[in-house]
Amino acid sequence: MAASHHRLDLEDVGDVTVAAFIDKKILDESNIQVIGNQMFSLVEDDGRRKIVLDFGNVEYLSSAALGKLIVMDKKVKAANGQLRMCAVRPDIYEVFRITKLNKLFTIFDTRDLALEGF
Amino acid sequence: MTSTSDFAISVPSDTSQARQVQDRIIELLEKREFSERDLFGVRLALEEALVNAIKHGNGMDPTKQVYVDCQFTDDRVRIVIQDEGGGFDSSTVPDPTAEENLDKPGGRGIMLMKAFMSHVEYNDVGNRLLLEKLRDEPEEDDD
């Protein structure tokens, strides 16, 4: 599989890891699988505890992608870490709002705001 | 009244082929100048519906087909998606927004379809889905 094909752009800012989704559309099942594994690896393999997921590029995502975000949130919390999200477009935020995931996730308008006080 | 854009097609249980149908419908809506918000909602609903039909309906069986019938009028699009599976009872899908389900990964596709489309209806068996979208609906305040 194309597991080595990175779907996240990583940047370390102090002790915080910013992971930006590369894809505009997070729809395809195999792609979602790869993205999920790369996200989980940040916590499980790299031991990162403060993670910001940057949605700046993301125009579409499906419920399968939401599933991965929920699992990621659980994994980070289980590791006593913190997960923040940022730069979510209004349409995508609407998806979070409808599914009430805006109550589960910590979402900031911009990357800078997400990093502030993290 | 029928439109020249109307079409019906059968595709095998393959998400990339289903996505081509999705793209075709979105292109036709773009030509008809549906708003960006409408396009977002229809694309999301189609994605969820087609993946459900292929994965849960046809069980990814490549010998089974998904049938898509699409009809346009000036102010709406009406899409019927049917799979060859045994169906399901949509009323038994747990509410993913309930407190105890909020952190569970599944079950949000149908909810998103209902939120973004004007009308969503399964047949009694649960293997045929009607999706209807009216142009530029005023935003519903469901809080």
Q: How many independent structural domains does chain A possess?
A: 1
Condensed to tens digits (0 to 9), the pLDDT of residues B30-85 reads 999 999 999 999 999 999 999 999 999 999 999 999 999 999 998 999 999 999 99
DSSP label at residue A74: H
A30 versus A78: which is more confidently predicted? A78
Complex ipTM: 0.88
Tell whether A18 is covered by a domain: yes
Residue A56 structural domain: 8-115
Kindly report, residue by residue over B74-121, the tens digit of the pLDDT.
899 999 999 999 999 888 888 999 988 888 877 799 999 999 999 999
A85-110: average pLDDT: 96
The distance of B53 to chain A (nearest Cα, Å) reads 14
CATH number at residue A102: 3.30.750.24
Please name the member of A29, A62, A104 whose beta carbon is closest to the beta carbon of B48.
A62
Task: Work out the pLDDT band at B1, boundaries 50, 70, 90.
Answer: low
- Percent of chain B clearing pLDDT 70 (strictly above): 94
Contacts of B77-80 spanning 24+ positions with Cβ under 8 A: B77/B25, B77/B28, B77/B29, B77/B34, B77/B42, B77/B132, B77/B133, B78/B130, B78/B131, B78/B132, B79/B25, B79/B46, B79/B49, B79/B130, B79/B131, B79/B132, B80/B128, B80/B129, B80/B130, B80/B131
Residue B72, H or E segment: strand B65-73
Q: Is the pLDDT of residue A90 over 80?
A: yes
Q: Give the model's pLDDT for residue B137.
A: 56
Q: pLDDT value at position A1?
A: 40
Boundaries of every domain in chain B = 7-134
Interface test with B, best of A26, A40, A61, A63 (most B CBs within 10 A): A63
* C-alpha to C-alpha distances, A3 to A8, A55, B78, nearest whole angstrom: 12, 21, 38
Q: Judge: domain B7-134, CATH 3.30.565.10.
A: yes
CB-CB neighbors (< 8 A) of B37 in chain A: 91
Domain-embedded: residue A15 = yes
